[in-house]
């Protein structure tokens, strides 16, 4: 019993393992009515969706789901035009490509046509500038996929930076050096005490202006809005991660540090090998929650003209005038992102707990 | 080997406690000293001051000629020479038994992986749990955990071993296996300071017994003196309660 009391395994693990067990097991003594209520749930969902559909019919909304796929991928028609007047003097195969040579009185131009191209001219034909030499079609990512990619890129970079900021912040937060400690408290309170939207505006329009002007003055290029977006999200998440890491470190029993230090390990060594690995296991669930929030919060970045998923969807809506379909799909896409992340973390957690 | 001169330690939080009052003692190489006394008498604090887990407010502590309280002393180097075993084992739960024993060898002593493993296996054999080398601490019994903790400390080749109530968190049937390991160590000539209420161990192994009360050393003597005719009333009272 005594040994159980001081076991340093966090209680949360034991609980979560138990939860997984009960999820995997078929309930042996489920009441008869269980399936009935599952049915009620399903019927309820259908009724709500049905009512919503009925309401949209009432206001004569025109559902056109078939118009939506083009915002994921579409076939782009590409035409290769001649830039000069002249005669087609040669059509030559060069590997997969075809080379079309056009001769004017005093200049010659050659166009490369890819294998998929359908050639629209013949040798000896006289053509004018702007005539179509060849045409082909190509699959291109639609607005939503472009936005999704930017959201993903933003979130991944900001998450990595957020973890780095958070781990450093967590360590300086518990430092005995007042300069480090108070600087961290100041940072955390500053970030947590103001809306993310305001922080994004400050990052782009205040800090961004200053930084870009300084960069320009020293002869370097401007930093694109994307990076100010990343910075605002990383700093925002970093403050919360700092608190998560601090709590995680402090939740590890003092005896762990003492054992490590009594063996001659330095503060840094005991943190790296003993405290942080244990803290990490414990903070994984709140950390995952934080990064799910980050993905969702990235939808605010449209305000500084970053074409992330939400901004892309809004552009698609102004082009197509199909807001119902596109916004529903938008919500679904975020759900896919966050759900994937939480599944991945759950697997990671399980893997670590087994150890 | 260890010289403690007039050390004092007062805790201010949560309230003022004089944990050590003018404590002095000397421990010779190879000596086994048992420290006993009622709960809260400062035994742990004394032990923890020896490797500076607690910083004594005043006084001097010399270990093997090195001034523990001197800020210029490389404390990590010193601690590597002073093994410590805790009441609550404090094994690293995220590491296997073997990794628990090799970690500090690798990062503090900078030993090669194979040297560290060899040492770890040798020590596991010595404490009698070589078959558990791949297990995680939570899957061991208390007695096994404490023996791993002893092996972990011994892996640093310490000159002194400090034990803070190593058996008080154990179920009675496991106390013996831990004390046996400690007895072997004592016969091998290890310098040991042991806080314990296991009077059988004190009688059998100790060269000297220190009795503490209210932060001060009340009585020091050989086990015979201590158990047969203690001089102080407080010692007699304590012994009558514990024996
Ligand atoms: N870290 C600490 N902070 C405050 N008081 C402490 C601390 N450690 C020990 N004490 C106090 O110092 C006194 C001596 O404690 P300790 O050395 O642990 O006694 P023992 O090990 O003999 O039971 C006790 O009154 C205890 O409450
Ligand atoms: Mg104690």
Q: Give the per-residue pLDDT at A25.
A: 58
pLDDT for position A317: 94
Nearest CA to ligand 1 atom 4: B11
Over 80: is that where the pLDDT of A18 sits? Answer: no
**Could you read off the pLDDT of B9-68 as tens digits, one per residue?**
999 988 999 999 999 999 999 999 999 999 999 999 999 999 999 999 999 999 999 999
Q: How far is CA A51 from CA A46, A57, A87, in A?
A: 8, 10, 65
Q: What is the DSSP letter of A272?
A: I
CB contacts of B107 in chain A (<8 Å) are 265, 269, 273
Reply yes or no on whether the pLDDT at B128 is more than 90: yes
Q: How many CA atoms lie within 13 A of A215 on its CB side?
A: 11
Tell if the CB–CB gap between A6 and B169 is shorter than 8 Å: yes
Residue of B nearest to A280 (CA): B94
Q: Which pair of structure tokens corresponds to residue A203?
A: 């990052």
Using CB atoms, which residue from B83, B93, B142 is nearest to A8?
A: B93
Of the candidates B92, B51, B79, the residue with the CA atom closest to the CA atom of residue A253: B92
- A-chain residues near B80 (CB < 8 A): 263-264
Say yes or no to pLDDT of A12 above 50: no
Q: Which tens digits make up the pLDDT trace of A224-259?
A: 999 999 999 999 999 999 999 999 999 999 999 999
Give the residue from chain A lying closest to B51, CA to CA. Answer: A262
Per-residue pLDDT reduced to its tens digit, A148-188? 999 999 999 999 999 999 999 999 999 999 999 999 999 99
pLDDT digits over A124-142, tens only?
888 888 888 888 888 999 9
> How long a stretch of residues is chain B?
243
Contacts of A277 in chain B (CB under 8 A): 94
> Which ranges constitute the DSSP H helices of chain A?
2-6, 11-24, 34-58, 143-173, 178-192, 196-201, 208-217, 225-251, 254-262, 267-270, 276-297, 309-320, 323-354
CA distance B97 to chain A (A): 12
In this predicted structure, the answer to whether residue A210 has a pLDDT above a threshold of 60 is: yes
Please work out, in degrees rounded to the nearest 5, the angle formed at the alpha carbon of residue B147 by the alpha carbons of B141 and B150: 145
Q: How far is the CA of B10 from the centre of ligand 2 (A)?
A: 15
pLDDT at residue number A30: 81
Mean pLDDT of B77-105: 96
- pLDDT score recorded for residue A7: 42
Per-residue pLDDT averaged across B190-207, rounded? Answer: 94
Tell me, in angstroms, the distance from the centre of ligand 1 to residue B40's CA: 6
pLDDT at A3: 39
The per-residue pLDDT of chain B, averaged, comes to 94
Residue A353 has pLDDT above 80, yes or no: no
Q: What's the CA dihedral at B111, B116, B119, B120 to 10 degrees?
A: 140
Mean per-residue pLDDT, B148-157: 97
- Going by alpha carbons, the residue nearest to atom 12 of ligand 1 is B19
Query: Which residues are CB-neighbours of A134 under 8 A, at least 6 positions away?
Result: A79, A80, A98, A100, A111, A113, A117, A118, A119, A120, A121
State residue A14's pLDDT score: 42
Per-residue confidence at A47, pLDDT binned at 50, 70, 90? very high
Q: Is the CB of B23 under 6 A from ligand 1?
A: no
Indicate if the pLDDT at residue A4 is higher than 70: no
**What separation in Å is there between the alpha carbon of B242 and the centre of ligand 1?**
20
What percent of chain B lies above the pLDDT cut of 70? 100
Widest CA span in chain B: 55
What would the pLDDT profile of A276-311 be if each residue is shown by its tens digit? 999 998 999 999 999 999 999 999 999 999 999 999
Which one, of B163, B217, B220, B210, lies nearest residue B186 by Cα?
A: B163
**A252 three-class SS:** coil
Tokens of B67: 């001034």
Quick check: B28 contacting A, CB < 8 Å? Answer: no
Question: In this structure, are residues B27 and B33 in contact, taking their beta carbons and an 8 Å threshold?
Answer: yes
pLDDT higher than 90, residue A2: no
**ipTM for the complex?**
0.94
Residue B90 sits at the chain A interface (C-beta within 8 Å): yes
What are the tens digits of pLDDT across the range A307-325? 999 999 999 999 989 999 9
Local structure of B95: helix, strand or coil: coil
pLDDT, tens digit (0-9, with 9 covering 90-100), for A80-119: 888 888 888 888 888 888 888 888 888 888 888 888 888 8
* Residue A134 backbone phi and psi in degrees, to 5: -155, 160
Confidence class of residue A208 from pLDDT cuts 50, 70 and 90? very high
What Rg do the C-alpha atoms of chain B give, in angstroms?
18
The distance of Cα B159 from the centroid of its chain, to the nearest Å, equals 12
Cross-chain Cβ contact B152/A261 below 8 Å: no
Q: How many CB pairs under 8 A join A and B?
A: 84
Q: What is the pTM of this model?
A: 0.82
Q: Is B80 in Cβ contact with A3 (below 8 Å)?
A: no
């Amino acid at each position: 019993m005594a040994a159980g009391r001081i076991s340093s395994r966090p209680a949360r693990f034991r609980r979560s393992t138990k939860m997984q067990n009960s999820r995997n097991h078929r309930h042996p003594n489920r009441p008869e009515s269980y399936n009935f209520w599952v049915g009620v749930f399903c019927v309820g969902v259908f009724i709500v969706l049905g009512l919503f559909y009925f309401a949209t019919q009432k206001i004569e909304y025109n559902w056109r789901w078939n118009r939506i796929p083009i915002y994921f991928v579409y076939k782009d028609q590409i035409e290769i035009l001649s830039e000069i007047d002249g005669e087609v003097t040669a059509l030559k195969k060069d590997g997969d490509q075809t080379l079309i040579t056009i001769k004017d009185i005093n200049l010659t131009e050659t166009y490369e046509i890819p294998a998929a191209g359908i050639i629209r001219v013949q040798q000896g034909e006289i053509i004018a500038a702007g005539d179509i030499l060849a045409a082909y079609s190509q699959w291109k990512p639609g607005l939503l996929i472009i936005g999704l990619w930017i959201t993903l890129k933003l979130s991944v970079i900001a998450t990595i930076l957020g973890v780095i900021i958070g781990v450093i912040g967590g360590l300086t937060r518990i430092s005995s050096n007042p300069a480090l400690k108070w600087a961290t408290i100041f940072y955390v309170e500053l970030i947590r005490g103001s809306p993310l939207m305001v922080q994004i505006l400050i990052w782009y329009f205040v800090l961004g202006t200053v930084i870009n002007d300084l960069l320009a003055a020293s002869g370097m290029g401007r930093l694109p809005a994307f990076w100010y977006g990343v910075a605002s999200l990383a700093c925002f998440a970093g403050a919360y991660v700092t608190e998560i890491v601090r709590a995680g470190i402090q939740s590890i029993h003092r005896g762990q540090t003492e054992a490590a230090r009594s063996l001659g390990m330095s503060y840094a060594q005991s943190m790296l090998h003993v405290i942080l690995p244990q803290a990490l296991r414990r903070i994984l669930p709140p950390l995952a929650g934080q990064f799910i929030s980050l993905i969702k919060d990235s939808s605010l970045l449209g305000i500084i003209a970053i074409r992330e998923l939400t901004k892309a969807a809004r552009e698609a809506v102004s082009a197509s005038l199909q807001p119902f379909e596109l916004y529903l799909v938008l919500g679904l896409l975020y759900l896919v992102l966050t759900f994937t992340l939480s599944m991945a973390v759950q697997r990671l957690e399980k893997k670590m707990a087994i150890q | 080997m260890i010289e403690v001169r007039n050390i004092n330690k007062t805790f201010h939080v949560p309230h003022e406690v004089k944990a050590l009052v003018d404590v002095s003692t000397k421990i010779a190489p190879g000596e086994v000293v048992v420290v006993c006394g009622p709960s809260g008498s400062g035994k742990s604090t004394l032990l923890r001051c020896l490797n500076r887990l607690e910083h004594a407010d005043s006084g001097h502590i010399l270990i093997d000629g090195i001034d523990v309280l001197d800020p210029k002393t490389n404390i990590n180097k010193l601690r590597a020479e002073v093994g410590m075993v805790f009441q609550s084992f404090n094994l690293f739960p995220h590491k296997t038994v073997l990794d628990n024993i090799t970690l500090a060898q690798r990062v503090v002593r900078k030993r090669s992986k194979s040297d560290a493993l060899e040492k770890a296996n040798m020590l596991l054999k010595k404490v009698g749990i070589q078959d558990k080398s791949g297990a995680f601490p939570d899957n061991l019994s208390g007695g096994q955990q404490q023996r791993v903790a002893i092996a972990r400390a011994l892996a640093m080749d310490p000159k002194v071993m400090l034990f803070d109530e190593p058996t008080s968190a154990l179920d009675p049937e496991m106390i013996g296996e831990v004390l046996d390991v400690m007895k072997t160590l004592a016969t091998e000539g290890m310098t040991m300071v042991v806080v314990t209420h296991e009077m059988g161990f004190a009688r059998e192994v100790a060269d000297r017994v220190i009795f503490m009360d209210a932060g001060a050393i009340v009585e020091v003597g050989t086990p015979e003196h201590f158990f047969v005719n203690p001089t102080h009333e407080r010692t007699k009272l304590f012994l009558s309660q514990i024996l």
